[in-house]
Amino acid sequence: MEELKAVHYGEIELIPGVKSDGYILSDGSECLSERGTAHLLGMNQMALNRLKTNWPLKTLKPFIDNDLPMKTNSVKVIAENSPHKGVNIIVYDTEMIEIFIFA
């Protein structure tokens, strides 16, 4: 299986006044960087990172499927206009971000 790459970059404003780093991956899927996701959710990036080991939080369990894993991907950024070109980053797909927002 070929490693996913972030081929297109742009700033996304899903909530007025909150801009996040968005990427299109080589498989055509849309995602936000871990930093962009944390910014969108109004939380510290390190706190979001720690959720991977504590998922799901007790306070969120009533609102989400307990069997749903927290999905992230590590991708290499090759997008020419990205400030992170050449770096591997963690990204969250739109399904995972939707779950965060719903919960």
In order of their start, the domains of the chain are 5-102 (3.10.260)
pLDDT at residue 97, as a whole number = 80
pLDDT at residue 88, as a whole number = 95
List average pLDDT for each run of 10 residues in the chain, which is 103 residues long: 88 88 93 89 83 70 67 89 94 81 71
Q: Are 31 and 51 in contact (CB under 8 A)?
A: no
Q: Are 52 and 36 in contact (CB under 8 A)?
A: no
pLDDT at residue 41, as a whole number = 84
pTM: 0.78
Bridge partners (DSSP) listed for residue 20: 12
